[in-house]
């Protein structure tokens, strides 16, 4: 065997690697991929040996989650509303379809929001952080014209307002 040659043999469920030129033999359990028990440090004259025990590596401790007060969190991260504004260029079906696609609202919730926009002139459709609110507003504004109405000139209007 050459000086740098490694050999691996299988003995039941243990894997043993030995090196002639190196000064150790490692015993490892392949099913757990962890070193167990014993590493034998072999002296160069192969007559003296020292044994050192090894502890298995423990998994990292899980971080404790503390209860967070929602009011304290709201003070740390300001919330913003995405407000959908009324116009006469879009149908209920268009508004419901848009709210279901962009915000994943259910049909009933989307219908209630469409009714609120039609009767009150505006509806809060989403509340989140400022960056996400601005992104959702731009999605509304780029959704496109209502194909159901020939007079529809473009997307609906929306604004971002700070939640109080």
DSSP 9-39: EEETTEEEEEESSSSEEEEEETTTTEEEEEE
Q: Where are the domains of the chain?
A: 7-53, 70-162
Cα separation, 85 vs 104, in Å, equals 19
Query: Model confidence over 102-119: pLDDT tens digits?
Result: 999 999 999 999 999 999
* Predicted local confidence at residue 77, as pLDDT: 87
Q: Are 29 and 38 in contact (CB under 8 A)?
A: no
d(CA 59, CA 57): 7
- Report whether 152 contacts 146 (CB < 8 A): yes
List, for residues 57-103, the tens digit of each pLDDT value.
Answer: 767 777 666 666 777 766 788 999 999 999 988 999 999 999 999 99
Confidence of residue 47 (pLDDT cuts 50, 70, 90): very low
Using pLDDT thresholds of 50, 70 and 90, give the confidence band for residue 53. very low
75/71 Cα distance (integer angstroms): 6
d(CA 39, CA 17): 11
pLDDT at 156 over 70: yes
Task: Please give the model's pTM, rounded to 2 decimal places.
Answer: 0.56
Vertex 26 angle, CA 24 and 32, to 5°: 165
| 70-162 is classed CATH 3.30.1390.10 | yes
Instruction: Give the pLDDT of residue 39.
Output: 44
């Amino acid at each position: 065997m050459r000086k740098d040659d490694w050999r691996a043999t299988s003995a039941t469920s243990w894997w043993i690697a030995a090196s002639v030129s190196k000064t150790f033999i490692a015993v490892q359990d392949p099913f757990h991929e962890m070193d167990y028990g014993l590493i034998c440090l072999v002296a160069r004259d192969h007559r003296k040996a020292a044994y050192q025990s090894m502890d298995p590596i423990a998994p990292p401790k899980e971080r404790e989650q503390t209860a967070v007060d929602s009011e304290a969190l709201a003070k740390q991260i300001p919330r913003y509303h995405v407000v959908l504004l009324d116009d006469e260029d879009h149908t209920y079906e268009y508004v419901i379809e848009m709210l279901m696609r962009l915000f994943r609202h259910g049909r009933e919730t989307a219908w209630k929001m469409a009714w609120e926009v039609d009767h009150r002139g505006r509806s809060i459709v989403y509340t989140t952080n400022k960056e996400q609110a601005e992104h959702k507003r731009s999605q509304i504004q780029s959704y496109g014209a209502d194909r159901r109405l020939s007079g529809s000139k473009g997307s609906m209007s929306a604004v971002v307002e700070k939640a109080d």
